[in-house]
Amino acid sequence: MPSDLSGSVRTRADVDQPRDAELAPVAPDRSVEAGLDALDTAASAPARRRPWRTLTHSVLPPVVFLAALVAVWQLVHVAGLKPSYALPGPADVAATFWETVTDGRAMEAIWTSISRGGIGFAMSLVIGTLLGLAMWASTWLRAAIGPIVSGLQSLPSVAWVPAAIIWFQLTDAAIYTVVLLGAVPSIANGLLTGFKQVPPLFDRVGRVLGLGGFSRIRLVLLPAALPGYLGGLRQGWAFAWRSLMAAELITYSPSLGQGLGQLLNIGRELSQMSLVITAIALILLVGVAIELLVFAPLERGVLRRRGLTTDR
Amino acid sequence: MRTATVPAPRGADGVLVGERSLAAVRVEGVSQTFERVGPAVLDGVDLTVAAGEFVCLLGASGCGKSTLLNLIAGLTRPSAGRVSVVSDRPALMFQEPALLPWLTAAGNVELALKARGVGRVERREEADRLLRLVNLGGQSDKRPHELSGGMRQRVALARALAQDSSVLLMDEPFAALDAITRDVLHEELVRVWTEQRLAVVFVTHNVREAVRLAQRVVLMSSRPGRIVREWSVDLSQPRAIESPGVGALATEITEQLHQEISRHAQ
């Protein structure tokens, strides 16, 4: 009670002396501002991740899961639910895997497929980016081909394999055609989505600062569209890789280099299930490796710089 | 450096720039309609802002104060009337800091300098100087998401100052900030204004904020936007928002504002 009273008395005193309040305004002291800044930003200092936490949270779970998967596989194999030519045990597959790696066939197939994938993806990157830019620049073009490009995204590109073989016979050109038709729509659409998601305010900022049309695109719009574009590239690569495997699986010819898809096909023709599983594992490994080594760090870097991720 | 009378034609139709006078901004008989037969957003607005003057535009929603600001900024053209601005390209601050998230604080300020054609080395120095001016000396390399709302708005102020314009337009720049931060930024803005001798047109719907900051408060009516009345604020700066002088005038202006709003009640 007494403290309440003294509080109200002080307030009255202020009101009674307006002159003083005018002459002594709130402190123009910049330490108030500096103090606020410190209070507002201190809490957001990033906590350092401990190495053991990475181990227990990122490395351990998939390892445990894989071990469990192999254990179940071994159990099913021992139980004899399927004849062993249809389901060889983990040890047989491991032996074939090792043999394929040591006799050089695995490296040859991986190299052939990755170089095809890389070249196909690079071509898709150029074409898809140009297409995306053109569709963004011209509303007429967007209206005209937008639905077709989106539709192509959901068409499995393996559907193009017969057409590509009729056009280009069993050549690399047939393979690249299928890869391009798989990846280009994703990349073009990704760039377009990136542009559409740029806040209109950014364009106004560019105009207020006096940036002309071209500088505004280069310095404001393109960097702003980058996250969407990267998403498109990532999806484009996934589609390119799938299309490539489908194409390699079907366009089997001695004149073509032997990629992972062709390795898979050899396994099928020889009815050698351990080679089939080996090829599938290799295809999966390459896909995961590219994702982890190229796209994930790229995307994480961009998002982190813009404060769009919470690292947890 | 900031010669307020240099003619700099903007060249857009209906927007004449660079009349020889002491006015930083001159709005004459400006009306704005957005649809051909729609109601006028602004109706016959006259407003002159002298070089180095701090004016607050005050009004309820729909009074067209942001529209008027966009006209002065040259982002839109008036349907009728003339807008002349002494500066080629007035600086404009929004309610959001609108910083580009992939650039550092210094990078954002440098972008404005780059748009003016300032060389690379000078850009860095000038950006550092401007950030120090808004008390963000050590934060040049931080990205917007690492800064608080008030700090971002100060980077936006530094960026606006980097445009080296003699006219600064502000569209409710502190409306999204908490009261403590807003107080501090009022202080900061008045200090910068005093040092840089800018003409400031500050849009707000906060009466006390208007009286706290401005030399002149202009009250606008809503639908259509017209200028109803203006007050000159004869209190010395820096003044506290809670001082009795500010309170008395704010009360008077609020009364008039409420009258204006009541006319729309049906």
Residue with tokens 């942001």: B66
Residue A82 belongs to some domain of the structure: no
Q: What is the Cα–Cα distance from A182 to B156, expressed in whole angstroms? A: 44
Whether the pLDDT of residue A221 is over 70: the answer is yes
CA A162 vs. chain centroid, Å, equals: 30
Check whether residue B237 and residue B109 sit in a common domain. Answer: no
Same domain flag for B152 and B62: no
CA distance to partner chain A, nearest, from residue B243 (Å): 6
pLDDT band at A46 (very low <50, low <70, confident <90, very high): low
Q: CA angle B230-A24-B243, nearest 5°?
A: 40
**B175, B253: one domain:** yes
Which residue segment(s) compose the domain that B77 sits in? 1-90+167-266
Res. A167 pLDDT band, cuts 50 70 90: very high
Q: Are residues B138 and B263 in the same domain?
A: no
Does residue B243 carry a pLDDT above 50? yes
Q: Average pLDDT of A175-194?
A: 92
Q: Is residue A280 part of a domain?
A: yes
**Mutation for A interface: B10, B92, B102, most A CBs within 10 A:** B102
Q: What is the pTM of this model?
A: 0.76
Both B187 and B65 in a single domain? Answer: yes
Indicate which of A14, A17, A37 best probes the interface with B, i.e. most B CBs within 10 Å of its own CB: A37
The string of DSSP letters for A223-289 reads HHHHHHHHHHHHHHHHHHHHHHHHHHHH---TTS---HHHHHHHHHHTT-HHHHHHHHHHHHHHHHH
Per-residue model confidence (pLDDT) at position A85: 83
pLDDT at residue A69, as a whole number: 93
pLDDT exceeds cutoff 70 at A47: no
Q: Which of B164, B189, B222 is the last residue of a domain?
A: B164
Size of interface A-B (CB pairs under 8 A): 105
Report residue A283's pLDDT band, with 50, 70 and 90 as the boundaries.
very high
CATH number at residue B50: 3.40.50.300
Same domain, B129 and B254: no
Last residue of a domain, one of B132, B164, B196: B164
With respect to residue A239, please indicate whether it lies within any of the assigned structural domains.
yes
**CB distance B201 to B53 below 8 Å:** no
Residues B83 and B108 in one domain: no
d(CA B149, CA B176): 8
Beta bridge pairs of residue B221: B226
Rounded CA gap, B170 and B202, in Å? Answer: 5
Structure tokens at B105: 């604080």
User: For residues B170 and B93, is the Cβ–Cβ distance under 8 A?
Assistant: yes
The verdict on residue A70 lying in a domain is no
Using the predicted structure, report yes or no on whether residue B5 has a pLDDT greater than 50.
no
Single out the residue in B164, B194, B210 at which a domain terminates. B164
Q: Which of B102, B136, B163 sits opposite A223 (nearest CB)?
A: B102
> Do B233 and B171 sit in the same domain of this protein?
yes
Q: Is residue A88 part of a domain?
A: no
Q: What is the pLDDT of residue A43?
A: 58
Q: Give the per-residue pLDDT at B9.
A: 41
Mutate to test the interface with B, among A19, A205, A220, A226 (most CBs of B within 10 A): A205
Pairing of strands B199-204, B167-171: parallel
Q: Which residues of B touch A202 (CB under 8 A)?
A: 98, 100
Residue of B75, B111, B238 with shortest CB distance to A25: B238
What is the three-class DSSP state of B147? coil
pLDDT of residue A122: 94
The pLDDT of B221-240, averaged and rounded, is 84
- Is A2 a residue whose pLDDT tops 70? no
Which residues in chain B have Cβ-Cβ distances shorter than 8 Å to A22?
A: 235-236, 239, 243-245
pLDDT band at B64 (very low <50, low <70, confident <90, very high): confident
Q: How far is B254 from chain A (nearest CA, A)?
A: 20
Per the CB < 8 A criterion, the answer to whether A145 and A209 are in contact is no
Q: Collect all residues of chain B within an 8 Å Cβ-Cβ radius of residue A207.
A: 75
Identify the three-state secondary structure at position B45.
strand
Domain assignment present for residue A35? The answer is no
Average pLDDT, chain A: 83
Which of the two residues, A109 and A308, has the higher pLDDT score? A109
Q: Which residues contact B39 (CB under 8 A, 6 or more apart)?
A: B33, B223, B224
Average pLDDT of chain B, as a whole number: 83
**Segment among A130-134, A157-161, B2-6 with least mean pLDDT:** B2-6
Q: Are B210 and B202 in contact (CB under 8 A)?
A: yes
Supply the DSSP symbol for B76: S
How confident is the model over A42-68, as a mean pLDDT? Answer: 76
Radius of gyration of chain A (CA): 30
Write the CATH number for A246: 1.10.3720.10
Question: How many CB atoms are closer than 10 A to CB A271?
Answer: 10
Residues B102 and B182 in one domain: no
Number of domain units in chain B: 2
Query: Does residue A267 fall inside a structural domain?
Result: yes
Q: Do B118 and B51 fall into the same domain?
A: no
CB contact under 8 A, A226 and B102: yes
Considering the domain boundaries, does residue A112 fall inside one? yes
Question: What's the average model confidence in pLDDT over A208-237?
Answer: 89
Interchain CB distance below 8 Å, A25 and B239? yes
Percent of chain A with pLDDT over 90: 38
Residue A140 CB-half CA count within 13 A: 0
Question: What pLDDT, on the 0 to 100 scale, is given for residue A124?
Answer: 94
Task: Give the integer Cα–Cα distance in Å for B200 and B24.
Answer: 9
pLDDT at residue B1 in the model: 33
Q: HSE of A291 in the Cβ direction (CA atoms, 13 Å)?
A: 13
Q: Please indicate, yes or no, whether residues B204 and B225 belong to a single structural domain of this protein.
A: yes
pLDDT in tens, A24-36: 344 446 778 888 8
Give residue A179's domain range: 94-305
Residue A265 near residue A252, CB atoms below 8 Å: yes
Could you report the per-residue pLDDT of B194-215, keeping only the tens digit for each? Answer: 888 889 999 998 999 999 998 9
| Alpha-carbon gap, residue A242 to A257, rounded angstroms | 18
Q: Are B86 and B51 in contact (CB under 8 A)?
A: yes
Asked if B155 and B208 sit in the same domain, the reply is: no
Closest by Cβ to B94, choosing from A18, A201, A207: A201
CB atoms A36 and B245 under 8 Å: no
B150, pLDDT greater than 70: yes
Domain count, chain A: 1
